[in-house]
Amino acid sequence: MSKRRSVRRDAYTNRRNELVATYASFIPKLHAIEIADNDDGLVNAYSWFVVYEGMYYRFLAFESYLENSETALTKHEQDALHALKRRVRNLEVRMSPVLERLCTEVPSLLKLRHELKENAREGGKIAAHKRLKE
């Protein structure tokens, strides 16, 4: 592996770890809001949201990998991928009230989500380029 690709992969991994740590850093703030507002569901909702974000991250990385690896999908695989994309969009819509509440309490969450999406796409690209070089 070239030095440049190794540095790029390491930078991607370090940034991903920073983003995950930032997600975790919001829990004490949300817990304090929960106590102040007598709202027992905020941290629980956030915990489920973080689980969703992890799955969404993997989906975006996989999608980016497919786009960048020149992988030919069968009709069945294409249909499955499109169905998965529809489900992800539906989940986003269904979660929007929870996301709005969380973003009201932690405004930087929107920016963090955007950065995590970009990081997932970068991870997919790196994996695809690594595969193409093998």
Domain boundaries, the chain: 3-133
Average pLDDT over every residue of 122-132: 86
pLDDT digits (tens, 9 = 90+) for 2-58: 666 666 777 778 888 888 898 889 989 888 888 888 777 888 889 899 999 989 999
pLDDT digits (tens, 9 = 90+) for 60-84: 999 999 999 888 889 999 999 999 9
What is the model's pTM? 0.81
Checking 50-59 for CB contacts under 8 A at 24+ apart, the result is 50/23, 52/91, 52/95, 53/23, 53/113, 53/116, 56/88, 56/120, 57/116, 57/117, 57/119, 57/120, 58/120, 59/84, 59/88
Using pLDDT thresholds of 50, 70 and 90, give the confidence band for residue 109.
very high
